[in-house]
Amino acid sequence: MKQKQFDITTLGELLIDFTEAGNSPSGMLMFERNPGGAVANVAAAGVRFGLKTAFIGKVGDDMHGQFLRNTLINSGVDTRNLLTDADSFTTLAFVALGEGGEREFSFYRRHSADLRLRAEELDETLLEDTKILHVGTLSLTSEPARGATLRAVAAAKAAGATISCDVNYRDTLWDGADKFRLRSRALLRETDLLKASIEEAEVLTGESDYRRAAAALMDEYNLCAVAVTLGERGAYALTRQGDALSPAFTAAAVDTSAAGDTFWSAFLYSLLTSGVAPTDLDGDTAAPFLTFANAAASVCVERRGAMPALPSLEEVKERMKRG
């Protein structure tokens, strides 16, 4: 089999996070424009770790779309299959920050560009040339993006890629949790590596205990591994050969945007550089992956924004030394 050019290719949402940024002199709430989008964050974080990554998606023909395109290019992410839609706008998310950097979202996404990606617009050469294809469940909210996502997964898998998925559930973007669960099944059946927060895992399985939730996901979808993030408690990974639990690193959190994406990009980086096949993962091999991923997330939450907060490989290693 020929050497793959890209370590990770991601497909899905690339958007603007308008993040709370204090008040103006007249007392009006101000928002800071930050580049974001869960799967796009994974691609950008991968470059920071030294990986070669690409992004597939769509933005609007507007000032925000051009800003996002330039951000990815300047970050070192390959954008050959980042398209511009002249008839739609770039997705916007307004983000309110609460205690400990926790967020509340207000999305402007109906009929936006990322949902208009079509299967026939995919660069299948790119999909065939990647080691890991990473997607998220937000691409499943409506057509044609849902069909494009499933087509991309099929093409990449046929070419021998590992399929990675982020369970990114936002209740305001779905017509109920039942629809979310139903539409996610086709994607999760093709997934090898799954990442979910404990809250998202509970939505999928009905289990509030992270061990039972992970086991339920493994049983239903025959995954190679599932990682469940637990916030201040750290993260848990279940594989076919065992499990691992890693505590969180102490952090002075100001904004948790991109924390989960940074975590997952760091986990995938660890897997890729280890030489371990996803099917051979066990508890002993997953444990240091989780530790590195938790360290990366702890650096990310201490800064504002999504992509602007992504840590470098050196910063993560330094955090691990400090403990």
Alpha carbon separation from 136 to 12, 37, 38, 78 (Å, rounded)? 7, 10, 8, 19
Domain assignment of residue 271, given as a range: 6-322
Given 3-state DSSP classes, what are the helix, strand and coil percentages for the chain, each rounded to the nearest 5?
A: 45, 25, 30
Give the residue from 165, 106, 118, 169 showing the smallest Cα distance to 141: 169
Please tell me the predicted confidence (pLDDT) of residue 306: 87
Please tell me the predicted confidence (pLDDT) of residue 99: 62
Alpha carbon separation from 262 to 31, 66, 93, 209, 316 (Å, rounded)? 23, 24, 19, 24, 11
Please tell me the predicted confidence (pLDDT) of residue 299: 96
Alpha carbon separation from 318 to 83, 229, 255, 294, 303 (Å, rounded)? 37, 22, 20, 13, 16
Please tell me the predicted confidence (pLDDT) of residue 3: 86
Backbone angles phi, psi at 129, to 5 degrees: -110, 25
250 found inside a domain: yes
33 found inside a domain: yes
Structurally, how many domains does the chain consist of?
1
Give the residue from 250, 209, 205, 215 showing the smallest Cα distance to 230: 209
Please tell me the predicted confidence (pLDDT) of residue 101: 52
Exposed, middle or buried, 154 (CB in 10 Å: 0-12/13-18/19+)?
A: middle
Query: Could you tell me the end-to-end alpha-carbon distance of the chain, in angstroms, rounded to an integer?
Result: 40
Q: Which helix (H) or strand (E) holds 261?
A: helix 259-274
The tens place of each residue's pLDDT in the chain, 323 residues long, gives 578 999 999 999 999 999 888 889 999 888 889 999 999 999 999 999 999 999 999 999 999 999 999 999 999 999 999 999 999 999 998 878 766 556 676 888 888 999 999 999 999 999 999 999 999 999 999 999 999 999 999 999 999 999 999 998 887 788 889 999 999 999 999 999 999 999 999 999 999 999 999 999 999 999 999 999 999 999 999 999 999 999 999 998 888 888 999 999 999 999 999 999 999 999 999 999 999 999 999 999 999 888 999 999 999 999 998 86
Task: Output the pTM of the full model.
Answer: 0.95
Please tell me the predicted confidence (pLDDT) of residue 171: 79
CATH number of the domain bearing residue 52:
3.40.1190.20
Please tell me the predicted confidence (pLDDT) of residue 207: 97
1 found inside a domain: no
Cβ neighbours of 58 (radius 10 Å): 26
51 found inside a domain: yes
Please tell me the predicted confidence (pLDDT) of residue 102: 66
123 found inside a domain: yes
d(CA 91, CA 115): 9
Give the residue from 159, 116, 141 showing the smallest Cα distance to 1: 159
Give the residue from 243, 310, 277 showing the smallest Cα distance to 38: 310
